[in-house]
Structure 1
Amino acid sequence: MDHQPPPFFKRGPAPVALLCLYVALSLALLVVDARMQTLEVLRQALSMFTHPVQQFAHLPAQVFDNSGSYFASVARLQDDNAALKKIGLENVATLLRTQQLEVENERLRKLLGVKERQRASGQAAQILYAARDPYSRRIVIDKGQQDKVLAGQPVIDDAGIVGQVTRVFPFVAEVTLITDKEQAVPVQIVRTGLRSVVFGLGDGQLELRFLPANADVQNGDLLVTSGLDGIFLPGFPVAKVVHIERDTSYSFARIFCTPLAGVENFSEVMVLDPRPAITLPEPLAREAAGRPAKTLVKSGLTKKKRLKKE
């Protein structure tokens, strides 16, 4: 009889079978998470444990940066302080006139019955690091659910719009920059008042779309937020036009812009508070809640016909 010794190592399933099983399981988790967002709670829980590890990993870089700023020259700080004082004295006349114009603007708005502009408020945040995904433009800030940060809040710096909060964790939040391919901001050209939408290209640049080829757009035009999306307050600087391609064979012109804010730089940002919801007057709200949209449209048409007959 042929007796074989027992195998030295216990053999399990074939490696190819294990590979196929793990690939199928990974694809199933990706589909379930993308469709139903079922793993969001697990992701939130894991972020609580990985946050101290991330802080410890960034500790040497923070110590190096702090030591470099600590050993800065005292003479340089004094020169900067003197320069800032000089600039402040030179701009004091403009500042005083601006304050007077703001008061006058508020008085005129009250006289004309125009609604007062919403004031911007928020909290400062520190950029920790950029996201590891090379195909997106995202950053991580040190404010999260503990600081009452919500998804959708606008993020700005001292020059203009930086991006928008898209994902919030207990201690940090993820901000999608305006240069990301999936980000769009409604804007308005300051010089002409034209409204359009600016889209990120994913390479640090922006593109102004949906403007005809003969639109009055020039290099150097300033783009500010129009506020039509209900997210960004109107009037914040967004980008500047740098290149225009006009082709008569296409209906729209290709307008390339560069962002004004330091979207690709590591610095401090401000997370603005969400805009309050627009409330309709009580009669209009009651009428809109009582009848569907089609009924409202029909009633408007009948009123127009009645006025024409009269």
Structure 2
Amino acid sequence: MSSNSHDTPPFFKRGLPPSARLTIYLAMSFALLVTDLRMHYLEPLRQGVAILTYPLQIAATTPAEFVSNASNYFSGLISLQRENARLKAQQLKVSSQILLNEQLRQENENLRGLLQMQAQIKIKSTAAEILFAARDPFSRKVVLDKGSAQSIEPGAPVVDPQGVIGQVTRVYPLHSEVTLLSDKDQAIPVMVERSGLRAVMFGTGNGLMELRYLAANADVRPGDRILTSGLDGVYVAGLPVATILKVGRDSAESFARILCRPIGTVERTGAVLVLAQASVRPAMPSTATEAAEDSRRSSSGRVRKPANAATSASAPVARNTNASNPPASSASGNASERRAR
């Protein structure tokens, strides 16, 4: 009885020492590793464990990736903003240079055109610059930076590299006023370059011009260029004036309605030439020709040639000595009527 009461309880037995157990576990692990290395029997188990632990891996790496991505995003955003600001400043600088170069190019082209126009016209001219458009809503006028101090005279034609733009109508000491051809009070004698027809062109007041007093069947068509005829002694003959835009023909009317667009680009032009008035004017009909015309008109209505040149040449003397003949004013009126025709 006494021996049994002093025995150690079973759950207090220690078994193998820890070093022995460690040795056994290491041997078993080494054996499993060698066996798996040769036979690969743990591969399915490894794949199954990887599948089961993949969500845990994703959940574990998500915070770190979020922090890294957020840091990269904000750092990239700051660098992009800085780059954008730098590029905008560079673009503004380049744009200003491009605008300046374009302005200089247009100004050089305009000046070259004026030099070519001056060489073609071969008459005295003065270069001027358009300051601004006149503040008159009922007329089309511009103001130049040259006046009477620079020998600018009223009535002088004004041209740009493309053609005629108007005429000086008012002169001040340091500036002058130019009325454009499209003004409703302006008129200029012209001719159609293709057909040689002569007519008078009037401004319409709305930026266009109208070619008047041409028959409804006149040989004109859209696209024809209109030049100055030089009959008024103000504009040099052959200067471009306008291009025919539209031709309206109505059999019920005697004249065609012809609208034209001015060739001169005063809205985009800064420099112009103020020309001297044309010195060569059309020759007035001689007195002998007027007397012969009067004698033909006094006949039965048919146009006849005079008997000989001597009679025609002596007609002015006879008209001065014979009181029954019509006065000189009548002959001048007839000559004016012929010029109008």
Q: TM-score, normalised by structure 2?
A: 0.51
Partner residue of 1:215? 218
Question: How many residues align structurally?
Answer: 200
Partner residue of 2:174? 171
Partner residue of 1:142? 145
Report the CA distance shift for 1:197/1:300 in structure 2 as closer, same or farther (over 3 A).
closer
Partner residue of 1:153? 156
Cα-to-partner distance string for 1:107-153 (whole Å, 9 max, x where unaligned): xxxxxxxxxx9723311101011111100011110000100000010
Q: TM-score, normalised by structure 1?
A: 0.56
Cα-to-partner distance string for 1:282-304 (whole Å, 9 max, x where unaligned): xx9xxx7xxxx6x8733776796
Q: Decide which structure has greater helix share.
A: 2
Q: Secondary structure at the match of 1:140?
A: strand
Equivalent-residue separation in structure 2 for 1:158 and 1:178 (angstroms): 16
The one-letter code of the counterpart of 1:72 is Q
Shift of 1:275: 1.9
Q: Which runs of 5+ in 1 are unaligned?
A: 1-67, 89-94, 96-116
CA contact (8 A) 2:236 2:277 kept: no
Equivalent-residue separation in structure 1 for 2:267 and 2:178 (angstroms): 12
Report the CA distance shift for 1:192/1:80 in structure 2 as closer, same or farther (over 3 A).
same
Residue 195 (1) aligns with residue 188 (2): no
Equivalent-residue separation in structure 1 for 2:214 and 2:282 (angstroms): 31
Report the CA distance shift for 1:210/1:167 in structure 2 as closer, same or farther (over 3 A).
same
Equivalent-residue separation in structure 2 for 1:267 and 1:74 (angstroms): 16
Equivalent-residue separation in structure 1 for 2:226 and 2:280 (angstroms): 25
Please point out which of 222, 228, 232 is paired with 1:229.
232
CA contact (8 A) 1:120 1:233 kept: no
Residue 298 (1) aligns with residue 288 (2): no
Shift of 1:237: 0.6
Report the CA distance shift for 1:71/1:278 in structure 2 as closer, same or farther (over 3 A).
same
Equivalent-residue separation in structure 2 for 1:232 and 1:219 (angstroms): 24
Equivalent-residue separation in structure 2 for 1:74 and 1:309 (angstroms): 73
Q: Which runs of 5+ in 2 are unaligned?
A: 1-92, 297-304, 312-341
Report the CA distance shift for 1:266/1:307 in structure 2 as closer, same or farther (over 3 A).
closer
Cα-to-partner distance string for 1:21-69 (whole Å, 9 max, x where unaligned): xxxxxxxxxxxxxxxxxxxxxxxxxxxxxxxxxxxxxxxxxxxxxxx9x
The one-letter code of the counterpart of 1:264 is E
Report the CA distance shift for 1:216/1:146 in structure 2 as closer, same or farther (over 3 A).
same
CA contact (8 A) 1:219 1:244 kept: yes
Identical aligned residues as a percent: 41
Shift of 1:274: 2.1
Partner residue of 1:9? none
Q: Secondary structure at the match of 2:308?
A: helix
In our comparison, the structure showing a higher alpha carbon Rg is 2
Shift of 1:273: 1.6
Report the CA distance shift for 1:299/1:203 in structure 2 as closer, same or farther (over 3 A).
closer
The one-letter code of the counterpart of 1:141 is L
